[in-house]
Structure 1
């Protein structure tokens, strides 16, 4: 369908069409209302014109019966007659009532009104005896004139009624034709452009991106059609390049996926508990496989600042003897030895950990080979992961060495505080025994021998206690059992039964490592009591609440705090307990007085407690 070229806006056309339709409808409705009003007024005029006959006859009766009726009754009838004629002459818009605007009707009304005012009303007003007969002779002509007036008004009313029917039929026809016209125009203006756009969209969905719609109007749908054409052109351009873009994006995603896979596999491998050699071999094997290298090597910076080759993959033995081919400190070097064996391309990347350079690794290729920027970035990331793994293993080795050193220190301190003193005492007694034997002082010999036997027994008990302490291993929630065993062993060694108050006030169990440290502090405190306190009573209180606390008290000979402060770390037992409390993150309070016993109080706050 070919549409005309409309330059008006669609909204303007719709508003104009609506206004024209409204004006036509209002005009037709106004015409029918005017005709109805005319018919109503003419109907009232027919009633009043018809009443002229009745009122004229009533006046005649009043004249005939004048002697029997009061004069006011006759005047009333005459006044009503005059009032009716005046209403017909001037009309009454309130009723409504008025004569049709027709010359014949007006002429007939004037004739009837003149007949009344000229002939009948004077005779009705006159008291002459002959007036009644004159009135009665003129009455038929007046009644005939009134009838003629009624007929004329009815004819005019019939004509207007026909007009009303015709206008109503015209209004119905105009309503039907107008509705069809509006529907047709709206169909042309809205439905047709929308269908064209829908058809264009269907063709776009079928990927016919060369679809173009003709812009036939300059209204809103014209702008939409132009926008549709622009969209189709852009889609056509994009679709023409879509395949290449998809291939490029697919290749990019595949490369990224390979990089992520390589990074994940390398990270998973580096997190395995391998030694240094296995770590280097696995790292190089994965590098050569991932990047299609013909060889690879790893060199690390030693503690003396030298760069040493520690691992290689796929490199000939002759090349390994000449390390000039490999990068040193990240710099390129003489690659002629590599070229002689066919490895003409080499790429070097740093091995770093937290900004610290640990060494470098190199990839070797036969023939010319250029590493893309994305692969270079991945290799740098792998170098960082490899450096972090090496650094972690070095730190783990240092941590193990530190733990061994700490345990050795604790063993040395325990030996110094117990067996060393006993051996020193035995050494002195042996010297005294030797001197007494040479001088044959048997009484002295008999006194020294029991002391030697007691010193050996005490040293044996110290060794057993140390072995017991260092072999102790606790599981979660086994602290109470270990405490009971330590107190039982102390009771067997000293003959003193400590009073234990173990209160569990809702606190969670300590983890095994913290339990072990608490147990060692308790054992050290009991060992000091056994060796030095000469106590009669020992009290042990353990409270496991929000905070964990351990309290060991005795009524022994005590000690001088000032003297202990002067001794400092030379008193190995106190020093060991302080170290263990520091390792726990707890506070340790050691108090005592000469002759007043001693007190060891350990408090592990809630913030320092670990979950079991």
Structure 2
């Protein structure tokens, strides 16, 4: 939430400053306007004095012009008429005023009364007399001239009185003008001092206090606090400073304890990580089930300082929990609980509910005392072993002193249970994979025996039956013919057995496929006397050992078929290993019709064996042959299916 949202508008620093400035501005404007108004009035009064004085002068001049006109001066009569109009216009202008000059009579009652008396006397007395005097002639004019002079003196006296009234009013207004100017000067001085004081009290002093507080806090004086004298932004800052000081003081006061706790936490976390790394590395080693479980149990007992423990695996088919390994448990307890049922005892119930359980045996009813309690254990915990959501068993930790596990320790033990479950499942999967591999290899061996030894023995069996019949019939010539055939059949079966034994014992030397193929081709050349050649163009990534063995067995099977069936004189084995891998075995033997191969039954099982081995490494096997043109076997492993070693 923003800071200004927490401060009422009337307490905001900006409101105070703006209010003070506006107040001083209003006072200054009032003083300035008053001064201007008084100056304007004084200018109007000065103009009024001048015009009023001109009325006095023009009155005398009018009398003089009338006197000249009586002496026969024609211009004087016209000037007198103009003078009459000028005086009337001046009085009218004094009454109405002129803001442009400026010209105005002071708005006081005495001045207005005197002016109205002068204007009335002019309009009703002096002006009509002047007009009448201008028309008279002869002796009567002299008497009228004398009366007009007296009347003019009286009128001028009244005008003088009006001028003095205006002058006295101007003096008063001049006094007030000077007073307003002095007030404006005083206001400027007071405003300046007030603004300095206001800025100091509202800004400078709080900033100074805050700066001093920060300097003291910089010197590790966390007991410093700022006095909160206002509710504006600086008050909020002071409140925030005090809250920060409270927290810093609390944190600094408990810093050593917090560091100690944090160090202990880090040490425990490091021990946890070390245990997890050590357990993971140990469980990845190839080893039987019992050493696997024993090694992990020892590490767990050492980490949690357990007095004993055990690992049990679950037999789902029978609902049994078999103890695999144990530690710190008496032989009697092991003998009694070597195998328990799911649901029996506290451990069996935990398996049935599939939850982590920590038993405080001290709180149990003595009437239902368990074997673990009789052994002297105060706490027994049960943590399950899982692999891929599959429950495989559990492990126990036994403590002779009461033991509690926080959420972190329980999470660590559950993780170790999952690691152990994964290792156990990997052992089972490895055993199943080995069983499957042995089963598949036995199937291939059986097919090989059927293709070679079984066929030869069947032939020998028929020949023995014919020999037995010939001996009974006394056909010595037939016996002489059968015996060489028996000898040849036995020799061929012997050679097949030796070849099969050699093939079964074939191994890769340092995973060198080309070297193993050279050895196989060289031996085939020596045993059969055929011209056999190996051409290898190798530039691809090495194969895994399993794929290399299958390729070697395929070549051996193909060469065996050439020896037994092809009647060839030359054999070429070619390897082309780029991105795609190609293996070709060509011979120049008799050949055959591939379409009739399926009708030959079990006499040519070797082709099927080679195809099965090719499928095991994701390769394809193609057979091309025709009577009289030899046979070509081509194995292809595309780049997409190739697996690097």
TM-score of the aligned structures, taking structure 1 as reference length: 0.65
CA RMSD of aligned residues (A): 6.6
Q: 1:393 matched to which residue of 2?
A: 427
Q: Secondary structure at the match of 2:610?
A: helix
Provide the rounded CA distance (Å) in 1 between the counterparts of 2:557 and 2:267.
Answer: 64
Q: 1:3 matched to which residue of 2?
A: none
Distance change (3 Å), C-alpha of 1:48 and 1:589: farther
Provide the rounded CA distance (Å) in 2 between the counterparts of 1:297 and 1:560.
Answer: 63
**1:376 Cα deviation (Å)?**
6.4
**1:323 Cα deviation (Å)?**
0.6
Higher mean C-alpha displacement, 83-92 vs 443-452: 443-452
Provide the rounded CA distance (Å) in 2 between the counterparts of 1:553 and 1:79.
Answer: 150
**1:161 Cα deviation (Å)?**
3.5
Report whether the alignment pairs 1:99 with 2:100. Answer: no
Provide the rounded CA distance (Å) in 1 between the counterparts of 2:309 and 2:571.
Answer: 73
Once the two structures are superposed, what CA deviation does each residue of 1:501-536 show, in whole Å capped at 9, x if it has no partner? x799xx977666556656765675676567656789
**1:169 Cα deviation (Å)?**
1.7
**Would you say the 8 A contact 1:559–1:595 is kept in 2?**
no
Q: Secondary structure at the match of 1:585?
A: coil
Distance change (3 Å), C-alpha of 1:439 and 1:15: same
Report whether the alignment pairs 1:90 with 2:96. Answer: yes
Provide the rounded CA distance (Å) in 1 between the counterparts of 2:517 and 2:17.
Answer: 99
Distance change (3 Å), C-alpha of 1:452 and 1:472: farther
**Would you say the 8 A contact 2:451–2:605 is kept in 1?**
yes
Distance change (3 Å), C-alpha of 1:448 and 1:261: closer
Q: 1:176 matched to which residue of 2?
A: 189
Report whether the alignment pairs 1:328 with 2:340. Answer: yes
Q: 1:286 matched to which residue of 2?
A: 299
Aligned length: 590
Q: 2:358 matched to which residue of 1?
A: none
Report whether the alignment pairs 1:347 with 2:380. Answer: yes
Distance change (3 Å), C-alpha of 1:393 and 1:594: same
Distance change (3 Å), C-alpha of 1:325 and 1:455: closer
Once the two structures are superposed, what CA deviation does each residue of 1:324-360 show, in whole Å capped at 9, x if it has no partner? 16573464499998888x6455736466343655555
Report whether the alignment pairs 1:273 with 2:286. Answer: yes
Instruction: For 1:412-451, list aligned pairs within 5 A.
Output: 412-414=446-448, 416-417=450-451, 439=476
Report whether the alignment pairs 1:35 with 2:43. Answer: no
Q: 1:10 matched to which residue of 2?
A: 11
TM-score of the aligned structures, taking structure 2 as reference length: 0.63
Distance change (3 Å), C-alpha of 1:81 and 1:360: closer
Q: Secondary structure at the match of 2:340?
A: coil
| Alignment counterpart, residue 641 of structure 2, candidates 600, 608, 611 | 608
Q: 1:4 matched to which residue of 2?
A: none
Q: Secondary structure at the match of 1:352?
A: strand
| Alignment counterpart, residue 327 of structure 2, candidates 309, 313, 326 | 313
Provide the rounded CA distance (Å) in 2 between the counterparts of 1:348 and 1:146.
Answer: 126
Provide the rounded CA distance (Å) in 2 between the counterparts of 1:220 and 1:485.
Answer: 98
Distance change (3 Å), C-alpha of 1:551 and 1:322: closer
Provide the rounded CA distance (Å) in 2 between the counterparts of 1:110 and 1:298.
Answer: 133
**1:173 Cα deviation (Å)?**
1.5
Q: Secondary structure at the match of 1:328?
A: strand
